[in-house]
Structure 1
Amino acid sequence: MAQDARDIAEPGFPGARAAYDLAACLRFYSRLPVPRLPGEGDPHGVPDFRTAPRMLPLAGLVLALPSGLVLLGAWALGLGPFLAATLAVAAGVLVTGALHEDGLADVADGFGGGATRECRLEIMRDSRIGAYGGVALMLSLALRIGALATLLDRIEAVAAVALVLAAALSRTAALYPLVALDPARPGGAGAAVGRPSRRTFGIAVVLGLGLAGLSLPFGLPVAALALMVGGCALAAWGVAGLARRSIGGQTGDVVGACQQLAEIAALLGLLVATPA
């Protein structure tokens, strides 16, 4: 049997393995045109989720940089906190192709409208958005825009740092259902790409916490960072528990929903720690 190109490709430069995983995450989680790196295997192949997500916190940071720059630019142009926050969230949706938002809508429709495990999974497979999904999307956008606008009022330009950090931490938290739960559809696409090992998840957590520590010089207090991390962890634990009870495992939609809720929890946690 022929080996996968990812297994036989030789590193082309120091730190190549980490760079390959980062590039794979950027391609999978966004619509950014990431070029093939020297010595890399097939850039169009599905990433190996057993190892690639170790770089997901850094990928989340990169994916959120356009949103952070839009937030700063709109704020500097005097558009006001609400418009600046709205444009920043819109930029993030464009970068990711609404990947996580789609997962949130499917989970809301399935968990809210299905009476049995099989019915919930069938609803989640349907590409159409129902009432539960529509409401979940509106609430997610409203909460993120509202939180960012309030942060701009309270901490001004530092809100861009918070936005980028929340993106990195929430994507790290979204790995937890993959690690903690078996696939709800053993023959589905989620099962085919593999699950992050506990070592991979541990590396991602350490990297995410490291990024949080690096944000200290930008003005985010330790208490705020602790609440952001705690909010993400609580959201991940809650989504995993709900998925276990509702469908007996995880899917890609569950991961997307977890990211959205973890990001909201991180931003709200920061607001609690930075009163007006």
Structure 2
Amino acid sequence: MNKQKLLLAVSFLTRIPVKVPAPIDATSLNEASRYFALVGGGIGAGLGLLYYFLQLFLPNEISIVLLLAAGLLLTGAFHEDGFADVWDGFGGGWSVSQKLTIMKDSRLGTYGTAALVLLLLAKYQQLMLLSGQASWLAMALVCAHTLSRAMATSIIGLLRYAQEDAQSKVKPVAQCLSAGSRQVLYASAGSILLLMWLLGAFTLLQSVALVGVLWLTRLLCIMWFKHQLGGYTGDCLGAAQQIAELVIYSFCIQVWL
């Protein structure tokens, strides 16, 4: 494990104040992307631990709201911002150029606002359903934050990076995923599924089914991005992560409840 690249992944995906000991460039960010799923697992574990303590002292509804707020603060709403930008751009633009221009605008439009509200409401309802036992919710958080980032990151390199967005350099994003990076990424995802199986959360068949559901989700996201932009941007990866997170929570609800 490369400590420098891991710290860069933490710095890129969260607001945790870590010091990256070397200059950040496109190559190092591409290499750091292999640890995005691992960082996601850490985020999920931290949120699961926070919920365990919150629900000891507060009503469950308040605990879930604070849990969502903590997740937004921890990540700087990084992926949620991409999700909202995608809906603004795809909903408000006609040409690829218009869509990319809207997505780069820091202001939030009607499509993005509506999508973000619905996203948070959906997460709240899903987590409420999973909060019957604290252990269920904790496992769902770790699973969702890890696998959703693995799915979103795996899209890198399967589509071309949108040319106009690449030239603007508005947001840094990994644009290449080496074979070694994919192996580390999938190993992180596989380790979480193995852990879920050992804990009795999923059977082997359910684990395979979840992989299949995420593969289909990735395929649909790729088709969507290709249709809208002919490629992808960093915002698209954020949107894919958020969609995958919702899918995983829904899968856990179907399996456990």
TM-score normalized by structure 1? 0.84
Aligned to 1:106: 85
Alignment of 1:249 with 2:249, yes or no, is: no
Given the alignment, which residue of 103, 122, 138 partners 1:124?
A: 103
Alignment of 1:265 with 2:243, yes or no, is: no
Question: Cα distance, 1:178 vs. partner?
Answer: 1.6
Letter in 2 for 1:21: K
Letter in 2 for 1:60: G
CA contact (8 A) 1:48 1:194 kept: no
CA contact (8 A) 1:176 1:240 kept: no
Q: Percent identity?
A: 30
SS of the aligned residue for 1:221 comes to coil
Given the alignment, which residue of 66, 76, 79 partners 2:56?
A: 76
Question: Cα distance, 1:126 vs. partner?
Answer: 0.9
Aligned to 1:10: none
Question: Cα distance, 1:256 vs. partner?
Answer: 0.5
Letter in 2 for 1:49: L
Give the direction of change, closer, same or farther, for the CA distance of 1:91–1:226 in structure 2 (3 Å limit).
farther
> Could you give the per-residue CA deviations for residues 141-176 of structure 1, whole angstroms, max 9, x where no partner exists?
1111111110112x4323112112210110111113
Question: Cα distance, 1:239 vs. partner?
Answer: 1.5
CA–CA separation in structure 2 for the residues paired with 1:75 and 1:224? 29
Q: Which has the higher contact order (CA 8 A, sep 6+)?
A: 2
Aligned to 2:74: 95
Aligned to 1:12: none
Given the alignment, which residue of 64, 88, 109 partners 1:85?
A: 64
CA–CA separation in structure 1 for the residues paired with 2:148 and 2:89? 22
Query: Cα RMSD between the aligned structures?
Result: 2.1
Give the direction of change, closer, same or farther, for the CA distance of 1:75–1:219 in structure 2 (3 Å limit).
farther
Query: Which has more helix, going by share of residues?
Result: 2
Question: Which runs of 5 or more structure 1 residues have no equivalent in the other structure?
Answer: 1-14
Which protein shows a greater Rg? Answer: 1
Question: Which runs of 5 or more structure 2 residues have no equivalent in the other structure?
Answer: none
Given the alignment, which residue of 23, 28, 35 partners 1:55?
A: 35
CA–CA separation in structure 1 for the residues paired with 2:47 and 2:176? 29
CA contact (8 A) 2:39 2:146 kept: yes
Give the direction of change, closer, same or farther, for the CA distance of 1:45–1:224 in structure 2 (3 Å limit).
same
CA contact (8 A) 1:69 1:160 kept: yes
Greater Cα shift, 164-173 or 65-74:
65-74
Letter in 1 for 2:256: T
TM-score normalized by structure 2? 0.90
How many residue pairs match? The answer is: 253
Alignment of 1:28 with 2:12, yes or no, is: yes
Give the direction of change, closer, same or farther, for the CA distance of 1:21–1:191 in structure 2 (3 Å limit).
closer
CA–CA separation in structure 1 for the residues paired with 2:147 and 2:130? 18
